[in-house]
């Protein structure tokens, strides 16, 4: 880029005055001593066509922040944007679990959908996502990112163990919600039966010294089923093999006959 400057450039401004012939003079002195401007004193600046094209190119390559994106960094910027988008889904295991559960419910036929069905579908949804994570890391096709201030892009790739841990926490929350729902429904049932005497304070209390007689809650059953599935999966590597164990346990819990 070439820039040509022509004309009288003997005077330049300073913060507190003007430089003239190597000496700083005040604005008043400058006004008094300055010669009347002549046509040939005008400063002319010309920019080459190459410079104009260079400037236009920079404008086109400006990022959202207004800074010029260097040509060599474009791939890095694109990678960072992808990682940022991917990081959003890294915190959405609860949503993925709920979506998988909804899909499984939609595949069922018939109107009857009991607690055993919901527990089966919840564990199967968990199993499907668990297997998806494991298989994705084994074949190298899965990448999830989380924020990391020490990384060059601000994000780092997650490990399989981190993903499985987050999925486990999402399932734990789902099981806890099932417990809360069960308690509320049980309390309303009691109120209808007893004619309404206010919420019972004993509903969530365990009798002293009789822990072995306290019925297992829905959430506790779900967690136990998921643990049994994980143990079977780690041994066999097959999610269906793990579900066989789950269905066998459901049959024992509810006295029903379920098949994979």
Domain identity same for 38 and 109: no
Determine the pLDDT at residue 156: 87
Considering the domain architecture, whether residues 56 and 126 belong to the same structural domain is answered as no
Q: Are 93 and 166 in contact (CB under 8 A)?
A: yes
Domain region containing 106: 93-145+159-206+214-254
Answer whether residue 126 is part of any domain: yes
**Residues 112, 21: one domain?**
no
Residues of the chain with pLDDT under 50: 2-16, 19, 42-45, 47, 59, 62-72, 199, 203-210
Last residue of a domain, one of 11, 38, 60: 60
Q: Is residue 221 in a domain?
A: yes
Identify whether 86 is part of a domain.
Answer: no
Are 106 and 11 members of one domain?
no
* 128-157: b (≥16 Cβ within 10 Å) or e: bbbbbbbeebeeeebebbbeeeeeeeebbe
Mean pLDDT for the chain? 75
Same domain assignment for residues 180 and 242: yes
The count of structural domains within the chain is 2
In a domain, 196, yes or no: yes
The separation between CA 118 and the C-alpha centre of its own chain, rounded to angstroms, equals 28
pLDDT score recorded for residue 215: 85
Which pTM was predicted?
0.61
Distance, in Å, from the CA atom of 222 to the CA atom of 253, rounded to the nearest integer, reads 11
Question: Is there a domain that residue 231 lies in?
Answer: yes
């Amino acid at each position: 880029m070439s820039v040509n400057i022509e004309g009288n450039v003997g005077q330049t401004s300073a913060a507190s005055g003007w430089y003239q012939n190597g000496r700083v003079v005040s604005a008043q002195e400058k006004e008094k001593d300055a010669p009347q401007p002549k046509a040939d004193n005008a400063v002319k600046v010309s920019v080459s066509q190459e410079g104009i094209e260079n400037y236009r190119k920079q404008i086109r390559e400006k990022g959202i922040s207004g800074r010029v994106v260097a040509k060599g960094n474009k791939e890095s910027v694109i990678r960072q944007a992808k990682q940022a988008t991917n990081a959003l889904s890294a915190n959405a295991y609860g949503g993925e679990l709920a979506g998988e559960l909804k899909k499984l419910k939609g595949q069922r036929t018939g109107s009857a959908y009991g607690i055993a069905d919901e527990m089966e579908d919840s564990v199967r949804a968990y199993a499907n996502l668990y297997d998806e994570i494991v298989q994705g890391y084994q074949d190298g096709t899965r990448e999830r990112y989380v924020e990391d201030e020490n990384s060059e892009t601000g994000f780092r790739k997650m490990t399989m163990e981190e993903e499985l841990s987050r999925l486990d926490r999402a399932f734990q929350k789902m099981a806890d919600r099932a417990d809360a729902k069960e308690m509320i429904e049980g309390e309303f049932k009691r109120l209808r039966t007893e004619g309404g005497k206010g919420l019972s304070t004993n509903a969530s209390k365990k009798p002293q010294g009789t822990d072995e007689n306290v019925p297992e809650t829905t959430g506790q059953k779900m967690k136990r089923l998921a643990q049994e599935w994980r143990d079977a999966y780690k041994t066999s590597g097959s999610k269906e093999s793990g579900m066989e164990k789950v269905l066998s346990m459901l049959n024992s819990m509810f006295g029903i006959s379920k098949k994979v």
